[in-house]
Amino acid sequence: MAKTKKTVFFCQNCGHEEAKWLGQCPACKEWNTFVEEKALPTKSVGQAERKRAEVLSLSNVKTVGEDRIKTAMEELDRVLGGGIVKGSLVLVGGDPGIGKSTLLLQVCQTLGQKGESVLYISGEESARQIKLRADRMGEFSEHVELLCETNLESVEDVIRNRKPGMVVIDSIQTMYSEEIGSAPGSVSQVREATNTLMHLAKGLGITIFIVGHVTKEGTVAGPRVLEHMVDTVLYFEGDRHASYRILRGVKNRFGSTNEIGVFEMRENGLKEVKNPSEFMLNGRPENASGSVVACSMEGTRPILLEIQALVCHTNFGMPRRTAAGTDYNRVNLLMAVLEKRLGMPLGDCDAYVNIAGGIKMNEPAIDLGIVMALVSSYQNRPVDEHTVVFGEVGLSGEVRAVSMAKQRVMEAKKLGFNTCVIPEVSKETVGNIDGMKIVGVSNVGEAISYFR
């Protein structure tokens, strides 16, 4: 008799299946990602049970606008593309203790007050623990119901019987199916649970939020196929010791993936930050060298941020370079541009670049701000505190155009700045703005000469 397959090997990164262990996954080319799990029994489907596939012409398919539900949290609605889409499957990931459960519990609170039926399913906390957190947030409507369960079949039965408007699963790694012999959180369990929830969301028109644990690299734990199956992937970022949190969309089938939402963690929950620029610039030093205000765009929202640099002569043979909040290699590249194009002797200097507040920005528009902060610290000459600088810097030292230049200048004006140093090619796009002095520069040398 032929030997039956007892176990199979799954790639933790992409979910690829193999009969034996491999060092490198042939699908995603990642190393040491295969784990051994029990094989699932295959279910044969008869020809009478199989549904007939229907082919449609793309030109004959009719589209309708998505039915969205406003959460009364403008920051969350912006990231989702205008509100929660009915029948969507949303994955929320983030570090432990960052506030994922708190955010979703507040969403349940606001929707319950609107009369929407909400079911919060917890596999990690008891009902008493959730109640203690809910009491700090305020009063909850009777439309918000709670279920503490980890069995996937029981969860599916409850959702089908009650048919709530929204369901929160906290978390997907705790759900398990009795038909699968592997432990909760394994590749097979996570894939099966997500597949079941996807069919519930699409079949019943229920919005389902899934909380996902993250690995030490910051990605959602489990197979990569988990992010492919859901409609929207949101990451809750920020230093857990800081007061602010950033909700960032990395995948959204119903909206833009460039928007961010900013929240502040308080004792009674998360509070929206309506003006992140003012929040990021709070406590900025006056007349300090190495401090420059730059402007970055996150989707349609301009954010002013403070770039700090400290340049000093090294006491060792190898200079030390550190970057916090921006790309380390980008900082080295910009320092090389200063050495080559302007002849600044930075080869024997330590350089430390930091974006104040702990926020992370990698947009090329902050290049000119980083350059000016480095030069200001090296020459020990403060940059005017009422000036905003932005522009992309090329390897030839040229300052290139950036998108939405006028929106950036208007944000600076709203916060009381009176001068903007921008790329020369963007000056015509910005035009004349009352109360604002627009300075166009075509290369790094012109920008440095302006501040002398």
Task: Determine which of 23-32, 161-170, 220-229, 423-432 has the lowest per-residue pLDDT on average.
Answer: 220-229
Q: Does the annotation flag 97 for ligand binding?
A: yes
The per-residue pLDDT for range 191-204, each reduced to its tens digit, is: 889 999 999 999 99
The per-residue pLDDT for range 278-312, each reduced to its tens digit, is: 888 888 888 899 999 999 998 788 999 999 999 99
The interaxial angle of helices 152-162 and 187-204, nearest 10 deg, is 10
What's the pTM value of the predicted model, to 2 decimals? 0.77
Q: Does the annotation flag 159 for ligand binding?
A: no
Q: Which of 139, 134, 135 is nearest to 122 (CA)?
A: 134
Question: E strands of 218-290, at which residues?
Answer: 232-237, 244-252, 260-266, 269-272
Structural tokens at position 275: 């003006």
The per-residue pLDDT for range 62-81, each reduced to its tens digit, is: 776 667 889 989 999 999 98
Q: Does the annotation flag 95 for ligand binding?
A: yes
Place of tokens 């930075």: 346
Q: Does the annotation flag 431 for ligand binding?
A: no
In contact, 215 and 221? CB cutoff 8 Å: yes
Task: Determine which of 49-58, 256-265, 381-390, 437-446 has the lowest per-residue pLDDT on average.
Answer: 49-58
Integer Cα distance of 66 and 150 in angstroms: 31
- Predicted local confidence at residue 1, as pLDDT: 43
- Predicted local confidence at residue 209, as pLDDT: 96
Q: Which of 239, 212, 216 is nearest to 360 (CA)?
A: 239
Q: Does the annotation flag 185 for ligand binding?
A: no
Average pLDDT over residues 365-391: 95
Q: Does the annotation flag 172 for ligand binding?
A: no
DSSP-derived secondary structure for 354-367:
EETTS-----GGGH
Question: Which residues, in sequence order, are CB contacts of 5 under 8 Å at separation 6+?
Answer: 19, 39
